[in-house]
C-alpha cells in the first residue's frame, strides 16, 4: 500500500471521512458560495436598475441571473417584487430574442458579403477572383479562350459631389443592371472596387473581346440617365486582356488594369485592349 493510501485509510478509520469525498464536498461548497455571491450581486444590480427606472439594465441583470440558473428575487420577496421581476423577465426575453435575430442577420450579411456585393447584388471581388483563378487554369490547360475586362466609371467623384452620394449609389446600382443585361449566362460580372467593375468572358478571345467590351461601354453611355437626375451623364472606360500569362490570373488582371489606365489617359469613355 502506498503512503498516500495508508494515510487515507487511517483518516477513514479515525473519522469515518473519505479524503476524496471530503475534497469533492469542499469544491461543491465553494461552487455554492460563488453562486450565492453571484446571486447577491446580480440581485443588487437588478434592484438598483429597477429603482433607477432603467428597464434595459434590469432586463440584462435578469438575463444574467437566469443564465446562471439563479433565482431572480430572494425568498422574502413580496408579491409586488415578484410581479415586477416577471415583467422585467418578459422584457429580458424580448431583448434576448431581438439580439438573437440581430446576430443571425449580421451573420447572414457577413456570409453574403464575402460572395456578393450588397449594394449592387453582383459578385464580390473575392468571389470573382476565386472563379477567375479556376477558369484561368482550365483555359491554360485546354487552350481555351478567356478574356477579362475592367470597367471604371469616369469622373465618378464629380457625380457624388454634384448630385449627392445617394445618387452615386443609385448610379452604381443602375450601371450594374445595365451591364448585367449585356451578359451571357456564362459571363461573370462583379463589383471590383468602389466604382470599378470586372467582367470575365469565357470563350471570347482577342478577336472578339474589343467588340464585346464596346457593346458594354455603349450600353452605359446610351442609358437614359436623366431618369435618375436631370443633367446626369455617366460613361465608363474599359481595359481588356485576352492573354493567359505565366503570372496567372493576377497577371491577367494586371494587364487589363494597364489597358484601363491607357483608356483613361486617352480621354475616357474608351475601350483599350
* Residues annotated as catalytic (active site), given as ranges: 195
Q: CA Rg, the chain, in Å?
A: 34
Ramachandran class of 53: left when φ > 0, alpha when ψ lies in -120 to 50, beta otherwise: left
CA 111 to chain centre: 5
HEC string of the chain equals CCHHHHHHHHHHHHHCCCHHHHHHHHHHHHHHHHHHHHHHHHHHHHHHHHHCCCHHHHHHHHHHHHHCCCCCCCCCCCHHHHHHHHHHHHHHHHHHHHHHHHHHHHHHHHHHHCCECCCCCCECHHHHHHHHHHHHHHHHHHCCCEEEEEEEECCHHHHHHHHCHHHHHHHHHHHHHHHHHHCCCCCEEEECCCCEEEEEEECCCHHHHHHHHHHHHHHHHCCCHHHCCCCCCCCEEEEEECCCCCCHHHHHHHHHHHHHHHHHHCCCCCEEC
Cell numbers describing residue 180? 448585367
Amino acid at each position: 500500500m502506498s503512503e498516500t493510501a495508508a494515510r487515507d485509510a487511517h483518516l477513514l478509520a479515525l473519522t469515518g471521512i473519505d479524503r476524496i469525498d471530503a475534497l469533492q464536498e469542499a469544491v461543491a461548497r465553494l461552487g455554492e458560495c460563488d453562486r450565492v455571491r453571484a446571486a447577491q450581486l446580480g440581485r443588487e444590480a437588478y434592484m438598483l436598475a429597477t429603482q433607477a427606472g432603467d428597464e434595459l439594465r434590469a432586463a440584462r441583470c435578469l438575463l444574467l441571473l437566469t443564465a446562471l440558473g439563479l433565482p431572480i428575487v430572494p425568498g422574502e420577496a413580496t408579491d409586488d417584487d415578484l410581479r415586477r421581476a416577471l415583467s422585467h423577465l418578459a422584457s429580458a426575453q424580448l431583448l434576448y430574442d431581438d439580439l438573437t435575430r440581430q446576430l443571425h442577420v449580421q451573420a447572414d450579411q457577413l456570409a453574403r458579403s464575402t460572395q456578393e456585393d450588397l449594394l449592387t447584388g453582383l459578385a464580390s471581388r473575392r468571389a470573382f477572383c476565386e472563379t477567375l483563378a479556376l477558369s484561368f487554369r482550365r483555359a491554360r490547360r485546354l487552350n481555351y479562350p478567356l478574356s477579362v475586362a475592367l470597367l471604371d466609371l469616369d469622373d465618378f467623384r464629380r457625380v457624388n459631389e454634384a448630385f449627392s452620394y445617394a445618387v452615386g449609389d443609385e448610379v452604381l446600382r443602375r450601371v450594374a443592371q445595365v451591364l448585367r443585361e449585356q451578359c451571357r449566362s456564362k459571363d461573370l460580372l462583379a463589383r471590383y472596387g468602389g466604382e470599378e467593375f470586372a467582367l470575365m468572358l469565357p470563350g471570347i478571345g482577342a478577336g472578339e473581346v474589343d467588340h464585346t467590351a464596346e457593346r458594354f461601354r455603349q450600353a452605359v453611355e446610351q442609358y437614359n440617365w436623366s431618369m435618375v437626375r436631370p443633367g446626369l451623364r455617366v460613361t465608363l472606360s474599359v481595359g481588356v486582356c485576352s492573354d493567359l500569362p505565366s503570372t496567372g490570373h493576377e497577371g491577367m488582371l494586371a494587364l487589363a488594369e494597364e489597358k484601363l489606365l491607357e483608356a483613361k489617359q486617352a480621354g475616357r469613355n474608351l475601350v483599350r485592349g
